[in-house]
């Protein structure tokens, strides 16, 4: 199984590129979102959970994510992890299994944070998009998909999103094999990457 990591700022087009690349590669490719591995905090109230910093590396369960990827690489299935953004709680589906495939795409803002995970990646892609474009995309997504208000989005952006981008996320570009510009719908880079992956699969 080939593991492809896609990293970049919130709103940079990681999910879009993952979907486009997965579609171009075809059957035998699946995508796992790192956001599904946020740590759960059932002991906190909803108000307390809402105040957590969801953009810092420690908010993710890196050990569990790594263990699941290693399990898939070993040829065994894992249970599907999920996250409820409206309640800020994990919503795992223990009765649903994910089986190994030829290609696994993993994407998230801190998917390059864990060196152990980076070592397992066949290809590391970094989304290079202007921060103001990312913010506009984030606003649209959070309003339409996560039911958040402009005030809530603004406070979160200023207190956690932008500081964590400056401190961590923008530096992940130094770990990338390929820097992807113009967002996730870059048809030319998708075609090139898909061809490269298919060539690699054919030689294995």
Q: How much is the pLDDT for 19?
A: 95
pLDDT of 170: 94
How confident is residue 183, by pLDDT bands cut at 50, 70 and 90?
confident
The total number of structural domains in the chain stands at 1
The rounded distance, in Å, linking the Cα atoms of 172 and 13 is: 15
Q: What is the CATH number of the domain that holds 66?
A: 3.40.50.300
Tokens 């993710």 locate to 60
Residue of higher predicted confidence among 160 and 107: 107
pLDDT of residue 136: 80
Q: What is the pLDDT of residue 171?
A: 96
Q: How many CA atoms lie within 13 A of 33 on its CB side?
A: 14
What per-residue confidence (pLDDT) applies to 14? 94
pLDDT reported for residue 199: 94
Can you give the pTM of this predicted structure?
A: 0.90
CA separation, residue 132 to residues 12, 136, 158, 160, 172 (Å): 10, 6, 13, 15, 19
Average pLDDT over residues 99-126: 97
Give 28-68 pLDDT, tens digit per residue.
999 999 999 999 999 999 999 989 999 999 999 999 999 99
Q: Could you list the residue range(s) of the whole structural domain that residue 189 is in?
A: 2-203
13: left (phi over 0), alpha (psi -120 to 50) or beta: left
Q: With a cut of 80, say whether residue 124 has pLDDT above it.
A: yes
């Amino acid at each position: 199984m080939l593991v492809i990591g896609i990293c970049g700022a919130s709103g940079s087009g990681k999910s879009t590129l993952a979907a486009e690349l997965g579609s171009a590669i075809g059957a035998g490719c699946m995508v796992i979102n790192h956001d599904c591995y946020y740590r759960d905090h059932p002991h906190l109230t909803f108000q307390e959970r809402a105040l957590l910093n969801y953009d810092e590396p420690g908010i993710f369960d890196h050990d569990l994510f790594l263990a699941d990827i290693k399990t898939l690489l070993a040829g065994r299935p894992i249970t599907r992890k999920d996250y409820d953004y409206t309640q800020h709680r994990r919503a795992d589906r223990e009765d649903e299994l994910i089986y190994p495939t030829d290609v696994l795409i993993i994407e998230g803002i801190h998917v390059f944070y864990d060196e152990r995970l980076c070592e397992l990646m066949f290809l590391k892609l970094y989304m290079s998009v202007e921060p103001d474009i990312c913010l506009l995309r984030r606003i649209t997504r959070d309003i339409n998909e996560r039911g958040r208000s402009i005030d809530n989005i603004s406070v979160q952006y200023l207190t956690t999103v932008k500081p964590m981008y400056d401190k961590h996320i923008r530096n992940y570009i130094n770990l990338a094999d390929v820097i992807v510009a113009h967002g996730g719908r870059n048809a030319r880079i998708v075609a090139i990457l898909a061809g490269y992956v298919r060539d690699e699969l054919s030689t294995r």
